[in-house]
Amino acid sequence: MERYKEAVEIDPKDIDAWINLGDAYYEIEDYNKAIESYNKALDIDPYNYSDIWNNLGLSYSLKDDTDEFDKAIECFKKALELDPDDPITYYNMGYSFEDRMESDEAIKNYKKALDLDPTYTDAWNNLALIYKDNEDYERAISCYKKAIKINPDDGFLARNLAIVYVHIKDYENAKKYFKKTLDLNPKNAQVWNDLGDVYYQESLFDEAIRCYERAVELDPFFSDAWNNLGLIHSLNQEFEKAIEHYNIPH
């Protein structure tokens, strides 16, 4: 950081130094200073650096201020004028449109990113999330399956697909993909709890208890799993056990 500050003091026209300084501020999440540095670089040359426009857009979007989303999108558009075949910029613009609750525009940009790079699993995931939120579960499932085919070792994708199956009450496939997630990461307490929830919905309480117990074994402060154990014991009229689990400090 100090080296880059010294570099721009020595030569305020050193565009690479301003870019490096902006990147350094970006890494420590000082987005205001990153924006200032990227703008200094663009004052020197606004026409040949699509990456600066892209990073400036990301800095605006990550400020998590709704007033800045418009600025972010304008920056991404500038980046695409310079490099119209960059799938990452289309992805970033899609994300900003999501932040603005404009799902149709987000979908359009994620699809453009995927036209340019069909292996872009983050774009498949975000597209699927929009479809899920819109209750278009068939399209969501299709997107997740494409992403998982590209990256079968991504437990995040498998869990997200399982959650869609829960929404449509396809519990067999939900269990299949929660178990796939656990095959990849058997110490994920959240997914053990998720799997327990499916067994609970099927009234398979012994299996649900086993999953919830594994969740709290992995995370003794996992309040949802403790409460779920208490609920099942209550349903089984095992009230002392239920009280015991409800009273666990978490």
**For every residue of 118-149, which 3-state class applies, written as one string?**
CCCHHHHHHHHHHHHHCCCHHHHHHHHHHHHH
Low-confidence ranges of the chain (pLDDT < 50): none
Amino acid making up residue 127: L
pLDDT of residue 242: 63
Angle, helices 2-10 vs 15-27, to 10°: value is 150
The reported pLDDT for the residue numbered 157 is: 98
Give the pLDDT of residue 248.
64
Beta-carbon contacts of 185 under 8 Å, excluding residues fewer than 6 positions away, are 155, 191
Contacts of residues 230-235 at CB distance under 8 Å and 24 or more positions apart, as own/partner, are: 232/200, 232/205, 232/208, 235/205
- Say what the pLDDT of residue 207 is: 97
Superfamily of domain 187-250, CATH level 4: Tetratricopeptide repeat domain (1.25.40.10)
